[in-house]
Chain A
Amino acid sequence: KQEVTQIPAALSVPEGENLVLNCSFTDSAIYNLQWFRQDPGKGLTSLLLIQSSQREQTSGRLNASLDKSSGRSTLYIAASQPGDSATYLCAVEGYQKVTFGTGTKLQVIP
């Protein structure tokens, strides 16, 4: 059974800092891994999708890496802004199933 863990559960940083969010999964037989952000009371917003054959994806200030063999992914946020405050979720897709992580709640302090 796939288990997805995100550490830390919560993170508070001053504006402008670079930061890294972590996602670990127990079964490396995945098709892809996706990062989302969740704003209070809203649906999930897709940030980045990494296919199992890829090592990383970049979008603006975001960079996500994937190391399938070690069961880890990181989401790097450069020059954080107060608008980045949200909960960040990772989700891994395996055979006929998507498993979501526990989430990291990020607060960027102006």
Chain B
Amino acid sequence: EAGVTQFPSHSVIEKGQTVTLRCDPISGHDNLYWYRRVMGKEIKFLLHFVKESKQDESGMPNNRFLAERTGGTYSTLKVQPAELEDSGVYFCASSPLGLAGGYEQYFGPGTRLTVT
């Protein structure tokens, strides 16, 4: 079974440009999470989808970030316009949806974003 995949693995863009990151969760996983680690700091939660609905987007830093999950399958995270402080590694994770919750999250390899 394929794990969580993310594309691209690395992206280098100039300040002011737009970048779209993609995450493909494990098939059948209704929960999808985005996290990011900016340089030298800890990994922090961005948002959580349950199927196509945003369950919790309290970690999104500002309105330059837009996440979507059309159809409840893959998700995209768009940064527009990108700023220097957006540089970091963006992780995606997925887990099954169950009545009791608490399922293990499976993490993707991350997308390293560099804004110059």
Chain A interface residue count, CB cutoff 8 Å, equals 21
A47 and chain B: residue at smallest CB distance = B42
B101→A103 contact, CB < 8 A? no
Q: CB-CB < 8 A to B45: which residues of A?
A: 43-46
Q: Taking chain B's interface residues, is the majority helix, strand, or loop, or is none over half, making it mixed?
A: strand
A34 at the interface (CB under 8 A from B): yes
A91 at the interface (CB under 8 A from B): yes
Partner of A38, one of B46, B47, B102: B102
B87-116 with Cβ < 8 A to chain A: 89, 91, 93, 97, 100-102, 104-105, 107, 109-110, 112
A91 and chain B: residue at smallest CB distance = B43
Partner of B101, one of A34, A40, A105: A40
A46 to B42, CA, bound (A): 7
A98→B91 contact, CB < 8 A? yes
A41-86 with Cβ < 8 A to chain B: 41-46, 49
State the A residues within 8 Å of B (CB): 34, 36, 38-46, 49, 87, 91, 93, 96-98, 100, 103, 105
- Closest 9 CB pairs between A and B? A40-B101, A41-B101, A40-B102, A43-B45, A49-B42, A46-B42, A43-B33, A43-B48, A34-B42
